[in-house]
């Protein structure tokens, strides 16, 4: 969690969207460490993301840290091609171990372009494949190679701004992207 916080550089007052959150446990954890965030949590299933799951995540982090969660969380049920979020609204978009699960990655990148504020950033935390065709051990979906994922973002209007290895192996990384329109010369 510490490495993720250092990499994301979340600031109080920011409005953040996180896509593919499950029950939102990681995002609530981030919101516990950085008070004053407004985090829109997007998931496809109300069975995974609902008021009970969100309350359980808040309770977990309050017990872990011994302090109240002082960020705001907004659950949103999206589709495979739409976040159902407002356009030009978000300082940062988080894709935490979720991008490999998207069945329509280009459509979701179009959504990221639509909902990101000018100057905003998209952060992707993923475990990258050791070899072509490697499957994620949790969900069984194919993992991206790092260059493949960077290429997909590039083809969809984003530029890589930085990368940070989460565990030292080089296979778990956080990549930061900006929209090409926001950084002249890219």
Query: The tokens of 98 are what?
Result: 């979720």
Q: pTM for this structure? A: 0.92
Of 28, 21, 17, nearest in space to 60 by CA: 28
pLDDT tens digits, one per residue of 21-40: 999 999 999 999 999 999 99
pLDDT tens digits, one per residue of 33-87: 999 999 999 999 999 999 999 999 999 999 999 999 999 999 999 999 999 999 9
CA atoms within 13 A on the CB side of 117: 10
CATH superfamily for domain 2-182: Vaccinia Virus protein VP39 (3.40.50.150)
Q: CB count, 10 Å around CB of 49?
A: 24
Model confidence band, residue 172 (pLDDT cutoffs 50, 70, 90): confident
Of 21, 17, 28, nearest in space to 56 by CA: 28
Q: What is the CA angle 175-73-3, rounded to 5?
A: 30
- For CA atoms 98, 104, 105, 108, give the dihedral sign: negative
pLDDT tens digits, one per residue of 105-164: 999 999 999 999 999 999 999 888 888 888 788 777 888 888 899 999 999 999 999 888
């Amino acid at each position: 969690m510490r490495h993720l916080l250092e990499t994301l550089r979340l600031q109080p007052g920011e409005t953040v969207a996180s896509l593919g959150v499950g029950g939102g446990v990681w995002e609530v954890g981030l919101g516990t460490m950085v008070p004053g965030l407004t985090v829109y949590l997007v998931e496809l299933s109300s069975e995974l993301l609902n008021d009970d799951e969100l309350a359980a995540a808040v309770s977990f982090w309050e017990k872990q840290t011994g302090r109240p969660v002082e960020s705001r969380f907004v659950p949103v049920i999206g589709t495979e091609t739409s976040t159902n979020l407002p356009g030009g609204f978000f300082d940062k978009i988080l894709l935490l171990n979720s991008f490999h699960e998207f069945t329509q990655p280009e459509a979701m990148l179009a959504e990221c372009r639509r909902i990101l504020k000018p100057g905003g950033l998209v952060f992707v935390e993923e475990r990258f494949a050791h070899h072509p065709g490697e499957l994620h051990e949790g969900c069984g979906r194919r993992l991206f190679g790092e260059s493949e994922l960077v290429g997909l973002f590039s083809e969809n209007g984003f530029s890589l701004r930085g990368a940070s290895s989460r565990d030292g192996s080089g296979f778990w990384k956080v990549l930061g992207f900006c929209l090409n329109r926001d950084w002249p010369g890219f």
